[in-house]
Chain A
């Protein structure tokens, strides 16, 4: 009885595994993009880079695939720097970056600006502070101001949340406010955008800097955060759109100087007005 059951199951198991592997390997993946402008586009496009941009590019990719059924757009994350290096070494067709390229990265890569986004400062909704000057911000982040009452708020120690080393927001902050990353005295460090927002939402005395689009969306959903104006201008995507907000950054696609037809077609599509609604939905500002 028992031995029969064991053999029965083992045999069926082996057959099952073999069958499923065989079925799944039936359809081979066509590797590499094929260029043939006169016929339908086909092939696979690999895009890697910034995790901030990945959800947007996934959606643009899906719309592109619906227009060109034989094309597959594969998006992987890994960070802006990874996207740039992958594009340079041709491990990916296109790289996504949420910051402009540094001079040493620019060699034989072309930058296409896809959208714009702002970076603003957030405090907890219960924090009575309405605005901070640039100097106050620098002092808070370098540890010279340690209590909210020094800037007119409650008597409570400031919890500074910095962004992880290597995130484009940190580089932008450092560049815009002329502060060296090493001089920032952080109490906490947040990695991804939503992690930062959730950390802030749980700490009434914290301050962080964050993408305007993400913050605006989350504040509208009821998360207890408050966007601080910068230089007198309120932090909103509208103000990033009309270019009055002082602290903005571009979201870019990079590719080698001679892209193949599929890559070129995709980039043209991504820069066209046809995807502006997708960009708006993720709270970024399309380039008109």
Chain B
């Protein structure tokens, strides 16, 4: 009977193993194909001048200096606005509302719907609300605020998951020690939920950097170095779109810009992981 069980489990296990490894291999292969394509075509055009010089000849020569600055500022505005609101909402949803509360369910559902809004609709909304109604015009501020709206649901949902994963023992022990809820939150739960927050951050930053349709209508097409938040500034994804779809002969620099974007992402994600490790390192270790 032991042999029969082993054979039964053995067969299943083997099938599962094969499936899992094949899935991973498929994913790796596809992504290496795409990344390899970018690397192959883009590496030869990278240089320090490319990173710092302004674009010339419709972007086919020169570099992407001002565009990198615009992208960084748009990202900064987006995160600066969405992080506080996002973490605050996630904390409320996870800690201060029960699963049956109407407010909690409504907020959660509206965030789910928000996460499905097409990027082009965000662009039109951003254009009408931030650019026209609030009078910001085509500007980095409009772009950043629109992106913040896009990134919020992802950030909130994964931070909420991060909070949910903190064992209830933490909260119960804190209560038994007489800590106020704010203290428990800030000193105990927030550090423990940081991994969830970081996943949300990484996904959110990824989504923000990758966005094209929303930014064309809000932060605009101007590729000059921005001097204030109210200036129009071209983001890297729009530059790649223009070079590959609109400007004849722009492919080479489009690939190089895509490569720069990939490296930038690696840097941001790497920084996020490093921060996570340093915080995880210091948090209370479970049994």
Contact = CB atoms under 8 A, between A and B. Distances in A.
B85 interface: no
Interface stretch (B32-40, B151-159, B223-231): B223-231
Contacts of B220: 74, 76
A74 B138 contact: yes
Contact of B187 (A3, A25, A28, A218): A3
B221 interface: yes
A182 interface: no
B184 to A, nearest CB: 11
Interface string A192-204: 1111000000000
A54 B221 CA distance: 9
Interface stretch (A16-24, A98-106, A154-162, A256-264): A16-24
A76 B229 contact: no
A83 to B, nearest CB: 12
B191 A6 contact: yes
A75 interface: yes
B223 A2 contact: no
Interface residues of B, number: 36
Given A54-B221, A55-B246, A77-B221, A282 B58 contact: yes
B245 A76 contact: no
B138 A5 contact: no
B3 to A, nearest CB: 53
B58 to A, nearest CB: 4
A58 B245 CA distance: 16
Given A6-B190, A77-B216, A194 B244 contact: yes
A76 B73 contact: no
A1 B228 contact: no
Contacts of A72: 224
A221 B250 CA distance: 11
A20 B249 contact: no
B248 A6 contact: no
A236 interface: no
Contacts of B57: 59, 281
A60 to B, nearest CB: 11
Interface string B252-287: 000000000000000000000000000100110000
Interface in A238-263: none
A: interface residue count bin:
35 or more
A283 B283 contact: no
Contacts of B120: none
B246 A192 contact: yes
Given A59-B58, A74-B222, A2 B191 contact: yes
B93 to A, nearest CB: 20
Contacts of B227: 27, 29
Contact of B222 (A1, A75, A283): A75
A193 B248 contact: yes
A193 B246 contact: yes
A275 to B, nearest CB: 13
Nearest to A283: B248
A26 B229 CA distance: 9
B92 interface: no
A51 interface: yes
Contact of B221 (A5, A76, A191): A76
Contact of A6 (B187, B216, B222, B247): B187
Contact of A74 (B59, B216, B232, B282): B232
A9 B223 CA distance: 34
Contacts of A26: 228
Contact of A54 (B246, B248, B279): B246
A56 B73 CA distance: 27
A64 interface: no
Interface in A41-61: 51-52, 54-56, 58-59
B282 A221 contact: no
A27 B245 CA distance: 34
A192 B73 contact: no
A29 B58 contact: no
28 contacts: A1-B282, A2-B191, A5-B279, A6-B187, A6-B190, A6-B191, A24-B73, A24-B229, A25-B229, A27-B227, A29-B231, A54-B242, A55-B59, A58-B223, A59-B57, A74-B138, A74-B222, A76-B220, A76-B221, A193-B245, A194-B244, A194-B247, A217-B249, A218-B248, A218-B249, A221-B249, A282-B248, A283-B248
Q: Which 4 residue pairs spanning A and B have beta carbons closest together?
A: A55-B58, A217-B248, A192-B245, A3-B187
Interface of B: 56-59, 73, 76, 80, 138, 186-187, 190-191, 216, 220-224, 226-232, 242, 244-250, 279, 282-283
